[in-house]
């Protein structure tokens, strides 16, 4: 049986993961609307991944005999002035989620909830991958600036990400 403190914290994480889904979906819409279908596809794939994270937490609460309590999801921003600012915002968001996962892990350890600690190990590893996936894109965007040809090449390259 899951403890009430951990249950509440995981429900808050479900909301954070659903917000992540919304954020990346908003970024996808923005890139579609600004003529970058490859970036839009990359962000849609990211959105789908975030939804799968929310569902992992959702299923875990139920497996442990807890209650899922869904809360309202904040509306994300809908526009970014440049491709670089959008990807930097995505990176900052992943750093925020990493901190949330770490705090959740700390709570599980303090509660001596070994099942939750074990479950969260996957997310700890996943967050390292999430941040690492954005780092080289940001580095390239900083190097190419607003050069249209380079942006469209990057758009084409990122369109190859599987959905």
List, for residues 15-41, the tens digit of each pLDDT value.
999 999 999 999 999 999 999 999 999
163 confidence band (pLDDT: 50, 70, 90): low
pLDDT of 104-124, one tens digit each?
999 999 999 999 999 999 999
pLDDT at 146: 84
161 confidence band (pLDDT: 50, 70, 90): confident
Q: Are 43 and 80 in contact (CB under 8 A)?
A: no
Domains within the chain, CATH numbers bracketed: 4-158 (1.20.1260.10)
* DSSP code string of 137-160: HHHHHHHHTT-HHHHHHHHHHHTT
């Amino acid at each position: 049986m899951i403890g009430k403190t951990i249950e509440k914290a995981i429900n808050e994480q479900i909301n954070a993961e659903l917000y992540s889904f919304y954020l990346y979906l908003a970024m996808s819409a923005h890139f579609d609307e600004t003529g970058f279908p490859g970036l839009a596809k990359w962000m849609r794939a990211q959105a789908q991944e975030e939804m799968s994270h929310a569902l992992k937490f959702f299923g875990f609460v139920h497996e442990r005999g807890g209650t899922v309590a869904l809360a309202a999801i904040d509306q994300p921003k809908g526009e970014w002035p440049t491709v670089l600012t959008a990807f930097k915002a995505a990176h900052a968001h992943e750093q925020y989620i990493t901190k949330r996962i770490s705090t959740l892990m700390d709570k599980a350890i303090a509660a001596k909830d070994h099942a939750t600690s074990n479950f969260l190990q996957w997310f700890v590893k996943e967050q390292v991958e999430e941040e690492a996936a954005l780092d080289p894109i940001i580095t390239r965007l900083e190097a190419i600036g607003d050069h249209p040809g380079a942006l469209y090449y990057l758009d084409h390259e990122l369109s190859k990400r599987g959905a």
